[in-house]
């Protein structure tokens, strides 16, 4: 077996080049030159993220070492490889089979070696999401950036989807101008002072009108993500606002686009079908953390493909298998749980918390109704789904509670029902080790059939791949399976 590694790079002049290395002499059927420099093909791990639904370490890491005893690879010090695609393949009986595909984190040079640090593609999104900060350069009474004494350097807030009772930032204390979102697609629908609604005096036409024309006493007026009050507030100011797109898929697509990635169009449509979401972000946060929140909200998972497409799916039972792993291909098999509960048992009750208020309040104006007063004191509304037959069968069956960004309690109820159906039955969590030479590469999320006399799988059990570990040195692959 021969190992091959390709790396997309930029040379010292900035031109695109493809680096090709092998761990022995390899004559490609094309005219491509493969340099026999691989010392250790390496170990690689990757996995999906689905919160508490399927808990697994998803960050993919790996390393391949190249021989550089003669300094023949020193030229790579001037090459840019970070964030670019790398593919590890094996040649078996003349066939080139892809074993792993991801991105390069960087190169390290030591005595006689060059270490190629590899990461699964999603690592690219585990970096700060693009945001703006306040300049603090107001010359009062003018300006929308605060002053050095208040919000200079503070992250500007952003609204994604439909957000309720968010506390805006005071950006001009002289004119009582607040900002709830730095995104231009934000529309403010309501403003509250100490929980009591203010009168909407009508939208401004532009930023100039916002700064030159004050609302009437007791009113507010807005432009995009800005709000101006006509009277000094008596207490805490909060805002209801929404971006142009509020469906779960559309919001994931917006966040991905800001990070330079593209959500698969079909996935966006499917997620939109789950319902409306709302995120209010007022601090620096990683893009991956935002996607994690949304994935958990819809009862799903996401990953970035090596080709740069973001995929986001609902967590579902195993589907049509793409392959069968027979007993002779399996070197070890172990089951760690039979359900999604913390105790390894099925879940009998699912609680989905939704309709979040960004700011809860107990100190409210006397004019606030009892119903609104009660709602302002609670951050979420809950939807529950129970499967009593599961508890009868498993007296120690667990419960699952997830906090979501879903806006509608009805949408939350649908998610709770779907997850209860999915997780209230036996769902084995299995670690399977097999021979790489007998197992083609399978992607995270694929379904495979495991057929072995062990664990009652004699007739075959369909399971989803939720994690992979490739040991290229030993020629073994370890799969984390669920289903």
Residue 384 in domain: yes
Q: What is the DSSP string of 227-293?
A: EEESS--SS-EEEEEE-S--BHHHHHHHHHHHTT-EE-HHHHHHHHTT-BBEEEE-S--BHHHHHHH
Q: Are residues 419 and 432 in the same domain?
A: no
pLDDT category at 221 given cuts 50, 70, 90 is very high
Q: What number is the average pLDDT over the span 391-400?
A: 96
Count of the separate structural domains present in the chain: 5
Check residue 58 and give its pLDDT: 61
Q: What number is the average pLDDT over the span 114-126?
A: 84
Residue 259 has pLDDT above 80, yes or no: yes
Check residue 436 and give its pLDDT: 65
Residue 195 in domain: yes
Q: Are residues 11 and 116 in the same domain?
A: yes
Q: What number is the average pLDDT over the span 246-261?
A: 96
Check residue 250 and give its pLDDT: 98
Residue 461 in domain: yes
Can you give the residue range of the structural domain that contains 227? 137-242
Q: Are residues 61 and 182 in the same domain?
A: no
Are 164 and 278 in contact, with CB atoms under 8 Å apart?
Answer: yes
In angstroms, the CA 53 to CA 340 distance is 6
Q: Are residues 206 and 301 in the same domain?
A: no
Return the higher-pLDDT residue of 102 and 378: 378
Sole residue written with tokens 């509020």: 246
Out of 89, 123, 157, a domain closes at 123
Q: Are residues 332 and 472 in the same domain?
A: yes
What's this model's pTM, rounded to 2 decimal places? 0.87
Q: Are residues 170 and 225 in the same domain?
A: yes
Residue 178 has pLDDT above 80, yes or no: yes
Residue 131 in domain: no
Q: Are residues 435 and 410 in the same domain?
A: no
What's the first-to-final CA gap in the chain, in angstroms? 33
Sole residue written with tokens 């693009």: 130
Check residue 471 and give its pLDDT: 82
* Cα-based angle 403, 405, 410 (whole degrees, multiple of 5): 90
Out of 217, 242, 267, a domain closes at 242
Residue 130 in domain: no
Q: Are residues 90 and 159 in the same domain?
A: no
CA 432 distance to own-chain centroid: 26
Residue 108 in domain: yes
pLDDT category at 305 given cuts 50, 70, 90 is confident
Residue 54 has pLDDT above 90, yes or no: no
Range name among 27-36, 247-256, 410-419 with the lowest pLDDT average: 27-36
Return the higher-pLDDT residue of 162 and 54: 162
427 token code pair: 């769902």
Out of 123, 156, 182, a domain closes at 123
């Amino acid at each position: 077996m021969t190992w091959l590694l390709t790396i997309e790079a930029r040379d010292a002049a900035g031109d695109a080049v493809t680096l090709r290395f092998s761990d022995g002499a390899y004559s490609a059927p094309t005219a491509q030159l493969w340099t026999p420099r691989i010392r250790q093909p390496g170990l690689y791990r990757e996995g999906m993220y689905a919160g508490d639904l399927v808990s697994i370490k998803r960050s993919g890491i790996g390393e391949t070492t190249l021989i550089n005893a003669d300094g023949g690879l020193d030229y790579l010090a001037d090459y840019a490889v970070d964030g670019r695609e790398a593919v590890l393949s094996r040649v078996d009986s003349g066939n080139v089979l892809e074993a792993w595909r991801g991105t390069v984190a960087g190169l390290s040079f030591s005595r006689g070696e060059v270490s190629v640090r590899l990461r699964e593609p999603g690592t690219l999104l585990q970096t700060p999401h693009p945001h703006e900060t306040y300049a603090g350069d107001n010359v009062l009474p003018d300006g929308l950036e605060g002053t050095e004494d208040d919000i200079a350097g503070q992250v500007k807030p952003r609204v994604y989807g439909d957000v309720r009772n968010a506390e805006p930032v005071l950006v001009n204390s002289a004119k009582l101008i607040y900002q709830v979102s730095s995104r231009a697609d934000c529309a403010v629908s309501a403003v509250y002072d100490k929980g009591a609604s203010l009168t909407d005096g009508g939208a401004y036409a532009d930023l100039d009108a916002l700064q030159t024309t004050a609302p009437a006493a007791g009113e507010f007026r807005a432009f995009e993500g800005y709000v101006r009050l006509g009277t000094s507030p008596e207490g805490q100011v909060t805002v209801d606002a929404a971006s142009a797109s509020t469906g779960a898929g559309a919001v994931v697509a917006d966040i991905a686009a800001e990070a330079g990635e593209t959500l698969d169009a079909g996935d966006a449509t499917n997620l939109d079908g789950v319902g409306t979401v709302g995120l209010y972000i007022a601090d620096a946060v990683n893009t991956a953390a935002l996607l994690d929140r949304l994935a958990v909200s819809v009862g799903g998972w996401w990953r970035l493909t090596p080709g740069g497409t973001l995929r986001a799916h609902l967590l579902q039972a195993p589907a049509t298998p793409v392959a069968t792993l027979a007993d002779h291909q399996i070197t070890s098999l172990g089951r760690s749980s039979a359900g999604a509960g913390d105790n390894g048992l099925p879940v009998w009750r699912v609680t989905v918390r939704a309709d979040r208020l960004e700011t809860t309040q107990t100190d409210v104006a006397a004019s606030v109704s009892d119903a609104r007063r009660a709602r302002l004191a609670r951050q979420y509304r809950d939807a529950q789904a129970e499967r009593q037959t599961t508890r009868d069968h498993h007296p120690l069956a667990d419960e699952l509670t997830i906090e979501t960004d879903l806006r509608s309690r009805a949408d939350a109820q649908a998610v709770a029902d779907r997850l209860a159906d999915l997780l209230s039955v036996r769902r084995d969590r299995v670690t399977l080790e097999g021979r790489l030479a007998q197992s083609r590469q399978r992607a995270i999320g694929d379904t495979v059939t495991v057929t072995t006399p062990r664990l009652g799988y004699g007739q075959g059990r369909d399971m989803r791949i939720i994690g992979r570990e490739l040991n290229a040195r030993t020629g073994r692959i370890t799969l984390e399976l669920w289903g």
